[in-house]
Amino acid sequence: MSLTLIISLFALIAIALFGRFFIHLPKNIWLLFAAQPLAMASSSMVVFAGGLVATKIAPQPEYATLPLTLMILGTASAVVPASFAMNKMGRRKGTMLGLSIAVVGSLLAMVAAIKALFSLLIIGSMLLGASLAFVAQMRFAAIESVEQAADAPKAISVLMVGGMFAAVLGPEVAVTGKLWLDSPYGFAGSFLSLALLLLAAIVIIAFLEPIEVKTSRIDQGVRPLKQIISQPIFIIAVCAGAIGYSVMSYVMTATPLSMHEVEGHSLQATKWVVQSHIIAMYFPSLFSALLIRHLGVARLMILGCLMYAAVVIVALAGNAVMHYWWAMILLGVGWNFLFTSGTLLLPEVYRPNERFKAQAVNDFSIFFVQAMGSLSAGMILFSRGWSVLISVAVPMIIVMFAVSVWYFLLLRKRKPRAESRS
């Protein structure tokens, strides 16, 4: 077992056990913090190990990216069933169900790597993707676990910091577990080790305390879905999540291809840039709660849009390794600001007994648009080039900036009304 993997697991456990003594949040937040990186490791596992196995067992070389593509589509297709399961079974049992699906998917991928069954690898990848729809619900469980709404930004920040551990755990487990099982195509042991991580996550979630969402008389009526999703704040929240995710996934998917395949940069440099990007996605969560307190969500969204605009400027400035590195760092930070903002805005638009269907529409929109961005990246890159690919993202960034300004103006209108009533 690698030293990096041991240190990462030790640090994750230590923070989960002792973090509550320094940051006063409910026990559930720290259980979710510990379990989420173990569950999210399946994503980087498919990107890293799944792609390498697919190049050896796929019937045609161009099918090598199919496991990743179907993983993303699996996530989008499972959003509604995941929300339904959470509603019927509760957060604890629903999350355990989703993680169990991931265990099955990882074991199928393991068999696929041993037997060279490409179709089985695809099925396993889809199941791993479907489980990520359940994992995405953890952020809502975190928000619902805090007693005061003011603690929600802190809870989301803690949970998203765990994403940095997922960035390390996936590739490290893939490399460490590669030789656990004898396989002519490699990485069978990697998927077995992933299954063990997922089982550990299930055990952690088993200790999750029941989440009781406070309701009142006025909350008892369930409004039609059309009425919920037509609210301006709902539209703004969905745009922040969907546009933030799609632009990030679109550029991130194309970057290693552009660096290594087109520009000829080394695999080591490409790996460094991608890892730096993933860390940049989650590192700002260490201080995003402080930024929200001082700037507010509207300004944080505008700041995220400015980060995305900077990505365009840097990416079009050149094709050196540092151009890619800075573009990916800015991309990660911008994604964090937009995704965090959308997550915090969403609970403002639904009543407690409407939360599952509102969350389902939000997450389906995010993951569907993300899938479209990821799928189009390779096609545009190889047919039109890196500069065109980056330019295509500009209209989406402009739309997001307009949405952010719209929210800022809505808040300014609310403030005089509140002052006139007082």
Q: 47-75: per-residue pLDDT in tens?
A: 767 767 877 787 876 566 678 778 888 98
Please list, in sequence order, all residues whose beta carbon lies within 8 angstroms of the beta carbon of residue 212, skipping any fewer than 6 positions away.
none
In whole angstroms, how far apart are CA 71 and each of 129, 166, 310, 369, 405?
4, 17, 30, 14, 34
User: CA–CA separation, 99 vs 105, rounded Å?
Assistant: 10
Q: What pLDDT score does 323 carry?
A: 95
Q: Any residues with CB less than 8 A from the CB of 355 and at least 6 apart, and which?
A: 140, 144, 213, 347
Interaxial angle between packed helices 232-256 and 267-282, expressed in degrees from 0 to 180 and rounded to the nearest 10: 160
Give the residue ranges of the chain where pLDDT is below 50. Answer: 216-218, 418-422
Domains by residue range for the chain, with CATH = 1-209 (1.20.1250.20), 224-417 (1.20.1250.20)
| Tokens 């330019």 sit on residue | 391
Q: What is the pLDDT of residue 65?
A: 66
Q: What is the DSSP letter of 93?
A: H
For 35, 43, 119, the CA distances from 126, given in Å and listed in that order, are: 21, 11, 11
Q: What are phi and psi of 147, to 5 degrees?
A: -80, -35
Helix (H, G, I), strand (E, B) or coil at 186: coil
Q: What angle do CA 255, 253, 67 make, to 5 degrees?
A: 140
AA letter at 292: I
| Spatial contact of 206 and 100, defined as CB atoms under 8 Å apart | no
Count the Cβ atoms, other than its own, within 10 Å of residue 347.
Answer: 20
What's the pLDDT at 304? 95
pLDDT for position 217: 41
